[in-house]
Every structure is written in C-alpha cells, then in structure tokens.
Structure 1
Amino acid sequence: MRNKIRAAVIGIGLTAVSVLATGGSASSHGYTDSPISRQKLCANGTVTGCGAIQYEPQSVEGPKGFPAGGPADGLICAGGNSQFAELDDPRGGNWPATKVNAGQSYTFNWRFTASHATTDFRYYITRNGWNPGQKLTRASLEPQPFLTVPYHGQRPPSSLSHAGTLPSGKSGKHLILAVWTIADTGNAFYACSDVSF
C-alpha cells in the first residue's frame, strides 16, 4: 500500500514538473477589464451560460504568434481552447459592448493572477463592415494592431494600464482583440472586448 501511495505522489509531482517545464497552464494568468472582455463579463455574471470560463477568466491561453500563428479562425476569442468555446459564440451580436468614440484616447487595463516574462501587448480591431453575428476570423480584423506596447521581457504587476488612441473612422459595433505575448513560453493570452462607437 505504501508503495502505491509513494508511486502516486511521485507521479503527481512529475506531472506538475512536466507541465511547468513545457510552459503548460498549471495556473491562471490574465485578462482585460477595460474595455471589459467577454471572459470578465462571464466571470462577473453580466453574461450567463458561459461554462467554465466564468470560474477562470484569466485562463484564455493559446499558441502565440498571432496573426501568422495562434488560434485558428473562429476560435480566437477562446484562444483555441474548446472548454471556453462560449467566448467564440457571437450570441447573435448581442454581447454587451463598452461605449467608445472613434479617435479618442483610451486606457486599456489588464488584471493578472500570475506574472510572466512578457514580449508585448497588441491590440487589434475589426474592419469596417465586420458582422458581429459571426465568429472572429483574421479576415475580420484590420491587418495591423492599432496599438503595440513592447515589454522587453519584464513581468507585469497585478494590474497594468496602457494609454492609446482608438482608431478613427469607426462606427457601430466592433470587437477589440488584445493579445498578451509571453516571452519565455510558446503561448499568449487572448481577450475579446466588444465595443460600440
């Protein structure tokens, strides 16, 4: 019996070491709350029927390298994680949206539950004519981020804000995709925020 318990403890320890060594998600990490992200709307109960993401809004982690790499089209808001598929559901274009103005100065805010060495933060926005009733694809987004914040391998504090300017020439409903790229793993964190100009 002792050998079985000892073997189980060793097995659990090796699994934990393996997850950490490969950059796997052993704990949770971060999300945007300004503009409020879909995962935060689920966590605070504003949106219901969200599944597992309501308990861990900080866990939307997927492959880095967006847009050349990263999650597949239609799976971007969930970071390619099937357990968070509710984030990719457009809900008929009815996600609550933060009211903003084209060309305005805006402060983007992240909340972190675990700090990682960071390459940068990038913010993308949907093209004019985007259909908010469809899943997010690369073709839905402007090809270049409208804001990039280099972070040079530093680790962010528990809360971090970036000042930027929202693109001009936007009206109606749009989606902002925030990507937090990790420097020392193969992953990034993704957060989709619905906005209304």
Structure 2
Amino acid sequence: MKNLKRRIAAVAAGIGIAPLIVVTIPVGTASAHGYVSSPPSRQAQCAQGVVPCGQIKWEPQSVEGPKGLRSCSGGNARFAELDDDRKGWRVTPVGGTTTFNWTLTVGHRTSTWEYFVGGRRVAVFNDHGAQPGSSVSHRVNLGGASGTQKVLAVWNIADTANAFYACIDVRVG
C-alpha cells in the first residue's frame, strides 16, 4: 500500500511538473531568412494575399532545404503548395534580362546565388562567403527564354548544407 501511494505521488508530481518543463525548454530559432520580393515570387504573392496560401503566408522567408533541390518548396512539405503550377500564380511581364530583388531577414554568409529557367541554370553569382545586408539584387539574362516561364532562384548558404528557394512566374518578351 505504501509503495502504491509513493507511485501515485510520483506520477502526480510528474504530471504537475511536465508543463513547467515544456514552457522552460528553449525553442529552436527558425533558420530561414530570405525570398525574392520583386518580381513577386510565389511566397511573396502568398504573403501579400494575392494568392490564397497556407503557412507560407506568414513566413515567406522560410523556404529552406538542402542544397541541390529544384523545387519551389525547397523540399519542405509545409510549403508544398508552392510547387503547384496550377494554383493561379500571377505572372509578371519581364524582359529577356531582369533584375531579381531578394528581401533578407538574416544575412547568412553566402556561397552562390543561382537562377534556373526550365531546369537549366542561366546565371550564377559567387559571393565567396560574403554576408549580404537586408537586400540583394541580381541582373539576370534569362538565356533566350520566351513566353511564360517559371524561374527558380536559389540562395546557397556558405556555412550550412542548406539553401533558400523561390519560384517566380514570368512572361518573357
């Protein structure tokens, strides 16, 4: 009987302390920090309410995944809707050479910035480990592409295995 009372007391104490432990455990910080704001990327369109979206609406800078991917979501299942080409993304008219503007909420040390059209890399900018400020712009020749295209912009971080991803729907010409 004495052992049973001790066990009940121990379980009750554990239940009572558990919420305090959960509240005091430090939460990991998000390590996602950049997206293409102009021409508006898919996540920028979500953040602006142009296209109805889920969680990405509140964290357009959070499309982060392992380097080397070719998806708009960066392989992040929470943002899979960015991979849906039928979602009604607004297409921005651009010329054969276009400036892409990144909004950065944290300037990670950068190895390269890459731009792909139709799966083909059309531009790469090497920052050699430099840490950018709050915005970065690149003038990109779209490699002779014409008509409606999806541009994949990739920000490769120098000191992690990750990159940030953004897709921009454009009409070239």
- TM-score calculated relative to the size of structure 1: 0.72
Q: Which residue of 1 aligns with 2:91?
A: 97
Give the partner amino acid of 2:34.
G
Give the partner amino acid of 2:102.
W
Give the partner amino acid of 2:78.
Q
Confirm or deny that 1:86 pairs with 2:81: yes
Q: Which residue of 1 aligns with 2:109?
A: 117
Q: 1:151 to 1:7 in 2, by over 3 A?
A: same
User: What is the CA–CA distance in structure 2 between the aligned matches of 1:101 and 1:47, rounded to whole Å?
Assistant: 24
Equivalent of 1:163 in 139, 146, 158: 139
User: What is the CA–CA distance in structure 2 between the aligned matches of 1:44 and 1:147, rounded to whole Å?
Assistant: 27
Give the partner amino acid of 1:80.
G
User: What is the CA–CA distance in structure 2 between the aligned matches of 1:57 and 1:87, rounded to whole Å?
Assistant: 11
Aligned residues: 158
Equivalent of 1:62 in 65, 77, 92: 65
Q: Which residue of 1 aligns with 2:168?
A: 193
Where structure 1 has 5 or more consecutive residues not aligned to the other structure, the ranges are: 17-24, 127-140
Q: Determine helix, strand or coil for the equivalent of 1:122.
A: strand
Give the partner amino acid of 2:46.
C
Q: Determine helix, strand or coil for the equivalent of 2:40.
A: coil
Give the partner amino acid of 2:143.
P
1:165: Cα distance to partner? 2.0
User: What is the CA–CA distance in structure 2 between the aligned matches of 1:62 and 1:118, rounded to whole Å?
Assistant: 15
Q: Choose 1 or 2 for highest CA Rg.
A: 2
Q: 1:4 to 1:47 in 2, by over 3 A?
A: closer
Flag as ranges the 4+ runs of structure 1 deviating above 6 A: none
User: What is the CA–CA distance in structure 1 between the aligned matches of 2:80 and 2:18, rounded to whole Å?
Assistant: 38
Q: Which residue of 1 aligns with 2:49?
A: 45
User: What is the CA–CA distance in structure 2 between the aligned matches of 1:34 and 1:4, rounded to whole Å?
Assistant: 46
The structure carrying a bigger strand percent of its residues is 2
Q: Which residue of 2 aligns with 1:30?
A: 34
Give RMSD over aligned pairs.
Answer: 2.1
Where structure 2 has 5 or more consecutive residues not aligned to the other structure, the ranges are: 1-12
CA-to-aligned-CA distance 1:104-163 (integer Å, 9 cap, x gap) = 3x211100111211111000001xxxxxxxxxxxxxx12xx2111101111110011112
User: What is the CA–CA distance in structure 1 between the aligned matches of 2:18 and 2:167, rounded to whole Å?
Assistant: 46
1:194: Cα distance to partner? 0.5
- TM-score calculated relative to the size of structure 2: 0.82
Q: Determine helix, strand or coil for the equivalent of 2:129.
A: coil
1:172: Cα distance to partner? 1.6
Contact 2:32/2:164 (CA < 8 Å) preserved in 1?
A: no
1:86: Cα distance to partner? 1.1
